[in-house]
Amino acid sequence: MNTILTIIAAIIIFAILIFVHELGHFIAAKLSDIKVHEFAIGMGPKLFSFGKGETKYSLRLLPIGGYCALEGENSLSSDSRAFINKHPLKRLVVLASGAFMNILLGFVLLIVVTSTMPQIPTNQISYVEENSAAYISGIQEGDIITKVNSASTPIYKSLRFELSDTNGNETEFTLIRKGEKIKLNVTPEFKDGTYIFGITFAQKDNNIFTTLKQSFHETVFYSRVIIETFFDLLRGKLGVEQMSGPIGIVSEIGGAVEQAAQTGYVGFMNLILLAVLLTVNLGVFNLLPIPALDGGRILFVLIELIRRKPLPPEKEGLVHTIGLIALLLISVFIAYLDITKFF
């Protein structure tokens, strides 16, 4: 039963994420008066379709993608409403709108989850353990931690993330104490198999304004982590084997579904949080300047704006084709690693 529920949940989540992404492209294209031939959810054989005006809307068999087919998107066209013939700024907006909608969806889902919390953890210290590393360094109750080393920590989640990444090293805290900014260095103590600073954080009552602020900062936080992870991969700090593909993601969804079946409401909220991570990841990853992705296409539009003339379409197409092949090969490799991990 859990396997069936996992498959259903995975299909629903992937379908919603893809639908929202392609809807972003579709809305931006329509607002820019670009001809849209087809708006499709899924890939492969067509399950059903209907036409309205110049656009065909279709649902396809495989819930692994989708597309918004624009006139002149990948080739030259004499049509004045073709994508290729629109001003570069309009094309840039169309290309970025899919990712923007995914990130916006993450923000909305975070509002849903956060609004159910009676209290929100903060970055204000409520207790300092006597003789702890923080106590010895001069940290006091009531201090608000705004930075850990050079990383901004506007919310508790980003603060906890940065503290977990200190690995026992001396850490610089930027604090607000009675309206004044101060900096203190703290070296965590190794105790019971982990590094601890000896501080506890306060919580505050939740309201609509707190919910909106918290959700916004969490969306920014997840986006920043995804970008940092990408650059860590480029620098060799992380290996490809530490990434998860569709198989790994479905496994994570399965875990969340099982938790939801056991705990009900709490597990369902965690399933929504997983959807938040996936949709923000999809949005941010698509904006990275990688050929074949929206970000790669945006890069070419920016180059066109700087040069004041487009690059030859065949050259851009070749770059995107090579990028697509590379992404497919990486995806196959990650899928293989997922299989070895879970099977």
Phi/psi at 228 (5° precision): -65, -40
Closest C-alpha among 274, 244, 252, 229 to residue 335:
244
Residues 126 and 195 in one domain: yes
User: Is a pLDDT exceeding 90 seen at residue 335?
Assistant: no
- Mean pLDDT within 152-158: 92
Q: Is residue 98 part of a domain?
A: yes
Same domain, residue pair 75 and 167 = no
Q: Are residues 167 and 88 in the same domain?
A: no
Calpha distance 277→286 (Å, rounded)? 14
Q: Do 104 and 128 belong together in one domain? A: no
Q: Are residues 9 and 92 in the same domain?
A: yes
Q: pLDDT of 89-106, one tens digit each?
A: 999 999 999 999 999 999
Detail the DSSP E strand segments found in the chain. 36-52, 55-70, 119-128, 144-148, 151-152, 171-177, 180-186, 189-191, 194-196, 199-205
Residue 13, amino acid: I
22 is catalytic: yes
Q: In this structure, is residue 335 part of a structural domain?
A: yes
Q: Are residues 93 and 6 in the same domain?
A: yes
For the residues of 218-234, what is the DSSP string, one character each? HHHHHHHHHHHHHHHHH
Q: What is the pLDDT of residue 242?
A: 67
- The residue range of the domain holding 126 is 119-205
* pLDDT for 343: 63
Same domain, 171 and 110: no
- Which residue has tokens 């790669």? 296
Greater pLDDT, 94 or 51? 94
- Whole-number mean pLDDT of the chain? 89
Q: What is the pLDDT of residues 171-204, one digit of tens each?
A: 999 999 999 999 999 999 988 888 999 999 999 9
Q: Find the catalytic residue in 22, 71, 73, 316.
A: 22
Of 187, 205, 223, which residue sits at a domain end?
205
Residues 297-304, mean pLDDT to the nearest whole number:
94
> Residue 165's domain is classified under what CATH number?
2.30.42.10
Q: Residue 1: pLDDT above 60?
A: no
Q: Is residue 255 part of a domain?
A: no
- Range of weakest confidence among 41-50, 131-140, 225-234, 334-343: 334-343
Alpha helices in 116-207 (DSSP H): 133-137, 156-164
Angle between helices 265-287 and 88-115 (to 10 degrees): 160
| 290 assigned to some structural domain | yes
Question: Over pLDDT 90: what percentage of the chain?
Answer: 58
CB atoms within 10 A of CB 231: 11
Give the pLDDT confidence score for residue 101 in this predicted structure: 97
What's the rounded mean pLDDT across residues 313-334? 86
Q: Judging by beta carbons within 10 Å of its beta carbon (0-12, 13-18, 19+), is residue 308 exposed, middle or buried?
A: exposed
Q: Is 188 left (phi over 0), alpha (psi -120 to 50) or beta?
A: beta
Instruction: Choose one of 205, 232, 261: the last residue of a domain.
Output: 205
213 occurs within a structural domain: no
Residues 6+ apart with CB under 8 A from 213: none
CB-CB neighbours of 295 under 10 Å: 18
Say whether both 125 and 198 belong to one domain.
yes
Q: What is the mean pLDDT of residues 124-140?
A: 94
Residue 164 has pLDDT above 70, yes or no: yes
The closest of 226, 203, 259 to 106, measured between CA atoms, is 226
With a cut of 80, say whether residue 241 has pLDDT above it: no
pLDDT at residue 269 tops 90: no
Is 203 within 8 Å of 122 (Cβ atoms)? yes
Q: Is residue 260 part of a domain?
A: no
For residues 294-300, average pLDDT: 94
308 conformational bin, left if phi > 0, alpha if psi -120 to 50, beta if neither: left
Give the distance from CA 3 to its chain's centroid: 26
Q: Is the same domain home to 26 and 53? A: yes
Question: Quick check: is 245 in a domain?
Answer: no
Q: Which residue has the tokens 């073709």?
A: 82
In this model, does residue 299 exceed pLDDT 90?
Answer: yes
Q: What is the pLDDT of residues 195-221, one digit of tens each?
A: 999 999 999 999 999 999 999 999 999
* Same-domain pairing of 9 and 108: yes
Is residue 249 one of the residues assigned to a domain? no
pTM: 0.89
Question: How many independent structural domains does the chain possess?
Answer: 2
